[in-house]
Amino acid sequence: MISWRILYAILLARPDGDLPCEVLLQPVEWRALYCRVHGTTKLPTKIPSLAQVVLWIASPGGYLNRKHDRPPGPTVIWRGFLSLHEITEIYRIFRQNE
């Protein structure tokens, strides 16, 4: 299941990154990721794009996002999804009483 999700993220984000991130992530996942990346509890008014969210996922996986780097590959996306799972669980724990 996770390998399908990684491949789906890579193939969908490259040609059409302007899609909303909810085609790949559940609302709680992208919200948790947004809060972690930006260090805030305030959510954006607009849903982030798929291309932006894939870069956020790849970053904890080791992707540096330098000017001449190729798009993130399956290994860094996989590592990022492992981190995203933990981020989402912690977000759920802290948000359960709101």
Q: Which domains does the chain have, with CATH numbers?
A: 2-95 (1.10.740.10)
At residue 83, the pLDDT reads 95
Closest to 36 (Cα-Cα) out of 74, 82, 90, 76: 90
- Average pLDDT estimate for 37-57: 95
What are the pLDDT digits (tens) for 49-68? Answer: 999 999 999 999 999 999 99
Band of the pLDDT at 1, cuts 50, 70, 90?
Answer: low
Q: How far apart are CA 44 and CA 96, in angstroms?
A: 20
Computed over every residue of the chain, the mean pLDDT equals 91
Query: Does position 17 have pLDDT exceeding 80, yes or no?
Result: no
The pTM of the full predicted model, rounded to 2 decimals, is 0.88
Question: For residue 88, which amino acid is it?
Answer: T
Q: How far apart are CA 34 and CA 4, in angstroms?
A: 23
Under DSSP, is residue 35 helix (H, G, I), strand (E, B) or coil? helix
Contact 80, 58 (CB under 8 A): yes
